[in-house]
Amino acid sequence: MSVSDMKNQPLYKRFGFAWRGLQETWRSERSLRVQLWFAAAALLALAVLRPALVWWALVGMTIALVLAAELINTALEHLVDHLHPERHPRIKLVKDCAAAAVLLLSLAAVWVGVLMVLSVAEF
Domain ranges, ordered by start, for the chain: 30-120
Distance between alpha carbon 120 and the CA centroid of its chain, in Å? 26
User: What is the pTM (predicted TM-score) of this model?
Assistant: 0.87
Tell me, which fold does domain 30-120 have in CATH?
Helix Hairpins (1.10.287)
66-121: pLDDT as tens digits: 999 999 999 999 999 999 989 899 999 999 999 999 999 999 999 999 999 999 98
Q: What CA–CA distance (Å, rounded) separates 101 from 36? A: 17
What pLDDT shows up at residue 23? 94
Q: Does the structure show a pLDDT above 90 at 7?
A: no
Active site residue ranges? 70
Return the DSSP state at 86.
S
Burial (Cβ within 10 Å: 0-12, 13-18, ≥19) of residue 94: middle
**In Å, how far are 29, 79, 90, 97 from 87, measured between CA atoms?**
20, 14, 9, 16
Which helix (H) or strand (E) segment is 120 a member of? helix 89-120
